[in-house]
Amino acid sequence: MAISIKGKVAIVTGGGKGIARVFAKDGAKVVIANRNAKEGRAVVAQIKRAKGKAIFVQTDLRDPASIKSLVKETLKKYRRIDVLVHNAGIYPDALIKDLSVEVWDEVMAVSLRSTFLRTKAVAPSMVKQKKGRILITSSVTGPTVGFPSLSHYGASKGGVNAFAKGAALEYAKHGITVNTVSPGTILTDSVAALLGPKGVKETSKRIPAGGMGKVEDIAYAMLFFASDEAGFITGRDLVVDGGQVLPESSEAIL
């Protein structure tokens, strides 16, 4: 049996363009929730050109009222919510000595607090359905490894993983699973801009699989967790990093 989420209603929040496209290609009805209307509508247009189904709901993921409105609009349109993908996160570069309370709070609000808010808002409809999938984009940075100047980001992602475990236990009896996917270094537009061509080349050398991952690598991991076939997996984290965190040293990469 092929793994599929065809016909399911999936909310994809934040910058999950690749996830949204893969879900729509598989036949899901995708609701894209983003604060950036231009970006969100552009993804919807791409999906529709590919004969997929998608709508955009402008959403401030830090605002409880905005998140409630997202849930209301989704239920009004589709009558159900089968999958929620938390995919918001920011990582402003700052050493602890230079890190302001305001930046710390903003990172926590976008990555961690919003995960709680969205889960709380969506869970009642899933409980009523007696089925649902809650998926959270975490990171290897924080739960698995550390990085100087990203202590705030790592802390938020460590918190996300801890939250997922507790939520998984609370909602398991209702047929709802809660899982996280932890990407390694993925070649997104923002990562390419941050590292530059030389940085991309050097980072790729340190990944045993031979290069950085693609956004689709994360999307297909999410698609599996969203499927019926993953119904007996909850409270777990799947690292998708091409073996990046495995080597003891650079000499261990053949």
Give the pair of three-digit tokens for residue 209.
């699989």
The residue ranges of DSSP E strands in 126-233, in sequence order, are 132-137, 176-183
Buried b (16+ CB within 10 A) or exposed e, 138-156: bbbbbbbeeeeebbbbbbb
- Total length of the chain: 254
Q: Which residues contact 77 (CB under 8 A, 6 or more apart)?
A: 31, 55
State yes or no: is 220 an active-site residue. no
Catalytically annotated residue among 91, 153, 171, 220: 153
Which residues, listed in sequence order, are joined to residue 136 by a DSSP beta bridge? 86, 180
Q: If you search the block for the tokens 């649902």, which residue do you land on?
A: 132
Spatial distance between the Cα atoms of 136 and 134, rounded to a whole number of angstroms: 7
End-to-end CA distance of the chain, in Å? Answer: 36
> What are the residue numbers of the active site?
153
